[in-house]
Chain A
């Protein structure tokens, strides 16, 4: 798979795909998209990179083991859900919103952090599975 075309393309595709995944993550509240799809696109970016450059290079690029993203993502999503319970005595998962409208992000609320958590979990799970399979193959 190490053709020069793929290798050159992957250098450009990695940041573009990652940016696109963030875009999908952010637009997800009202439009199609969200943490799950965004996470899948982000993992595709890394999988493509590993096809072109080899698994070891991708691991070096990631620095941390992708499996570690799972508890981090879960913790983030959990905190987003628990914050209303702990600080406002509102039910679990109640959406709390920052009143001002922010540029780029739009409305900022706990839902975004929940989605970000989902994003990280999906990246972690997908990459762990794919890396494990390609290591044993």
Chain B
């Protein structure tokens, strides 16, 4: 049973999407299947995580072909953690979608595609083969493109053209990079690549290839200067879609960066400096972008970019403490960003607009909801002891130890900007006097929804807020996970040994 455990989250999502396709026209069935399936998938992911935690890195050889020839799936602590976070966000969004996405969209296969997206995410986190990673990226892009255009409003199509063009470009660059790497080494297995790339003498060529990967994943992760597609496309689809995009899609890019630059292209000062510079510029530009926006969801979109900077900075510093900070931030960010976009969706349902200038008086009308909204907002800023606070400490300590003062400055500056932005949002959306807005006809206001639909919208936000609170107050546990992940990532021989076995490494050294 447990031998094939690594693939169970994947197989479950695949099964769910096929099952949902069979119920194409029965929307109420789809809602139930999606939510129940997502609960099971959280269970399976917890099982996988605890198994990996006890027994260390596990692999599965797809088709029983031995590495480095066949495709393999590797679950180390980082992959298992991300699969678990995907399942948690997936559950929240599944519930949120069944209440907030209109039936016209659900009729055109929203739920099957949503589970294909989760399948792609799980696959990307678990695969140990660089070309297979590309294939999972394609599955993610295709599903996300369907989700972003579903409904076919004018603004949506405009956003999706930008989204699609840049992501296809990134895929092309990624594919080119894989081709060059394959030409250099003759292998696609990541562990095998790690050994072979280290042995190449022409370092210039290796650096160029690494830069290609950096650009490709940089577009996906939305780092400076490749981020401009993100704020233009993320505010257009339904907020449930934006939640899963904001929470997980850019993080796949970050994951790929972390994986490739800790496993294959390791210990290159030039690359680390480039990553650091990119990180600092991302922190600045994302923060400043968020400051001037008026649309609530655009503000959150710019904050995504800004906070990608933290994770990239940890990768650029490349010490164990810094990587631990990155991983902690990744864990915190996936949960909070998913929650934030759902908050955006909820506010939109209550008031019928997302313009900060026109919003207001939420505290007077819905005091309990405002309290709920406060948790993700202030977790994002990192008001101690909420969850955003702890990873920043690790990052700042790491930057101090490496004597990169400008990185320390940038991290603090970005935190300050985030604080200002969130304070502005809080003051004008929650506290400001309520403005009389024109009532929109045919708009399903929150108050008019059925109780069960209200519960389906509020419950995932409570769930994710509780997870956020746990990350903040149980920081010790999360820190343990992050340190262990960082330990595994800094010493890539563990990963290689798990995949190829000890003998291969010794053979290679001889």
Picked from A71, A85, A95, the residue with its CB within 8 Å of the CB of B21 is A71
Q: Are A82 and B62 in touch, CB under 8 angstroms?
A: no
Q: Given A92-B11, A92-B63, A94-B63, are A78 and B4 neighbors across the interface (CB < 8 Å)?
A: no
Q: Are A85 and B4 in touch, CB under 8 angstroms?
A: yes
Interface centre among A75, A89, A91, by most chain B C-beta atoms within 10 angstroms, is A91
Interface residues of A in 49-95 (CB under 8 A from B): 67, 70-71, 74-75, 78, 82, 85, 89-95
Q: Are B18 and A78 in touch, CB under 8 angstroms?
A: yes
Q: Are B18 and A95 in touch, CB under 8 angstroms?
A: no
Number of interface residues of B (CB under 8 A): 17
Query: Footprint of B on A, CB under 8 Å?
Result: 67, 70-71, 74-75, 78, 82, 85, 89-95
Q: Given A78-B15, A82-B11, are A91 and B21 neighbors across the interface (CB < 8 Å)?
A: no
**Which chain B residues lie closer than 8 Å to A93 at the CB level?**
62-63
Q: Are B18 and A91 in touch, CB under 8 angstroms?
A: no
B475 interface hit (Cβ, 8 Å): no
Closest to B59 in A: A91
Q: CB-CB contacts of B1-39 with A at 8 A, as 1s and 0s?
A: 101100100010011011001101000000000000000
Q: Are A91 and B64 in touch, CB under 8 angstroms?
A: yes
B60 interface hit (Cβ, 8 Å): yes
Picked from B1, B15, B22, B60, the residue with its CB within 8 Å of the CB of A92 is B60
Of the A-B pairs whose beta carbons lie under 8 Å apart in the complex, a sample of 30, sorted by A's number, is A67-B24, A71-B18, A71-B21, A71-B22, A71-B24, A74-B17, A74-B21, A75-B22, A78-B14, A78-B15, A82-B11, A85-B4, A85-B7, A89-B1, A89-B3, A89-B4, A90-B64, A91-B4, A91-B7, A91-B60, A91-B62, A91-B63, A92-B4, A92-B7, A92-B62, A92-B63, A93-B62, A93-B63, A94-B64, A95-B63
Q: A91-B64, A92-B4 are in contact. List 15 more A-B contacts (CB 8 A).
A: A67-B24, A74-B21, A75-B18, A78-B14, A82-B11, A85-B4, A89-B3, A91-B4, A91-B60, A91-B62, A91-B63, A92-B60, A92-B62, A93-B62, A94-B63
Picked from B11, B18, B22, B61, the residue with its CB within 8 Å of the CB of A85 is B11
**Which chain A residues lie closer than 8 Å to B7 at the CB level?**
85, 91-92
**Which chain A residues lie closer than 8 Å to B62 at the CB level?**
91-93
**Which chain A residues lie closer than 8 Å to B60 at the CB level?**
91-92
**Which chain B residues lie closer than 8 Å to A94 at the CB level?**
63-64
Inter-chain CA distance A91–B22, complex, in Å, is 26
**Which chain B residues lie closer than 8 Å to A78 at the CB level?**
14-15, 18
Inter-chain CA distance A94–B71, complex, in Å, is 12
**Which chain B residues lie closer than 8 Å to A90 at the CB level?**
64
Inter-chain CA distance A91–B63, complex, in Å, is 6
CB distance from B33 to the nearest CB of A (A): 13
CB distance from B178 to the nearest CB of A (A): 22
**Which chain B residues lie closer than 8 Å to A75 at the CB level?**
18, 22
Closest to B23 in A: A71
Closest to B14 in A: A78
Closest to B1 in A: A89
CB distance from B118 to the nearest CB of A (A): 16
Inter-chain CA distance A68–B17, complex, in Å, is 14
Inter-chain CA distance A137–B171, complex, in Å, is 33
Closest to B60 in A: A91
Closest to B61 in A: A91
Inter-chain CA distance A91–B3, complex, in Å, is 8
**Which chain A residues lie closer than 8 Å to B4 at the CB level?**
85, 89, 91-92
CB distance from A75 to the nearest CB of B (A): 5
CB distance from B145 to the nearest CB of A (A): 16
Inter-chain CA distance A95–B64, complex, in Å, is 8
**Which chain B residues lie closer than 8 Å to A91 at the CB level?**
4, 7, 60-64
CB distance from B404 to the nearest CB of A (A): 44
Inter-chain CA distance A89–B64, complex, in Å, is 11
Inter-chain CA distance A71–B7, complex, in Å, is 21
Q: CB-CB contacts of B204-233 with A at 8 A, as 1s and 0s?
A: 000000000000000000000000000000
Inter-chain CA distance A78–B22, complex, in Å, is 14
**Which chain B residues lie closer than 8 Å to A71 at the CB level?**
18, 21-22, 24
**Which chain A residues lie closer than 8 Å to B14 at the CB level?**
78
The 8 nearest A-B residue pairs measured at CB: A71-B21, A94-B64, A93-B63, A74-B18, A71-B22, A91-B64, A85-B4, A75-B18
